[in-house]
Amino acid sequence: MSAHDVVVGIVADAVKEFLNRLCECQRLMETHARDIELANVADAVTKALSEGREGEFGPVVVKIHKKFLGRREVRAALYGREVTVDELLAEISKAKSRAAWLAADCSEQALVEALYRFEDRYLIDVVQRNFSSFRKACKGETPHIDFGEAPAHVIEGTVRGVREYLANHGGGS
């Protein structure tokens, strides 16, 4: 086995590892889509609750019922299910934590940083330039990759890595 073949194999392994992480993040984003949606409206909901305002905020509905002697009762619904304010705030807190975790661990930057240990700037450049195209592999499709000025070992390794990833995950050719 030549040195070129060894380096191509290292690049292929790096690409497979990157695709595994990318696709796992895609699955997590889909699994936690409701948390992300709730986290996106969290500030508006908590502000409405603190101000005693009614409103619809994505999956959350806040209703204020006036009671005897000017007292108010706050009612909330989350995804159509009535919840107490405490339950709603607990769900918002959990959703914000999950969304923050996903934003940090699954950001494009975090996924690309995992390739830094391979110390191949051409591979990193190819991944950064084609990030959205690589997402197609998560659906079992072969991504179209713009290699630019990448050397042969990066091109061959990337193609092999994508092909092996797709073969092991039920897609592509």
Q: Rounded to whole angstroms, how far apart are CA atoms 6 and 65? A: 70
173 pLDDT higher than 60 = no
pLDDT digits (tens, 9 = 90+) for 51-75: 989 999 999 999 988 877 767 888 9
What pLDDT, on a 0 to 100 scale, did the predictor assign at position 144?
Answer: 96
**Rounded mean pLDDT, 147-160:** 96
**Which amino acid would we find at residue 33?**
A
Is the pLDDT at 171 greater than 70, yes or no?
A: no
Percent of the chain with pLDDT over 70: 97
Contact 120, 114 (CB under 8 A): no
* CB 25, CB 17: distance < 8 Å: no
- The pLDDT tens digits for 84-131 are 999 999 999 999 999 999 999 999 999 999 899 999 999 999 999 999
Angle, nearest 10°, between helix axes 85-105 and 3-31?
170
* Residue of 83 and 52 predicted with greater confidence: 83
Residues in the chain: 173
Q: Which pLDDT value is given to residue 78? A: 96
Mean pLDDT within 7-27: 96
- What average pLDDT does the structure give for the chain? 93
User: What is the C-alpha end-to-end distance of the chain, expressed in Å?
Assistant: 25
* Per-residue pLDDT at 172 exceeds 60: no
Beta-strand runs (E) in the chain: 55-57, 60-66, 72-78, 81-83
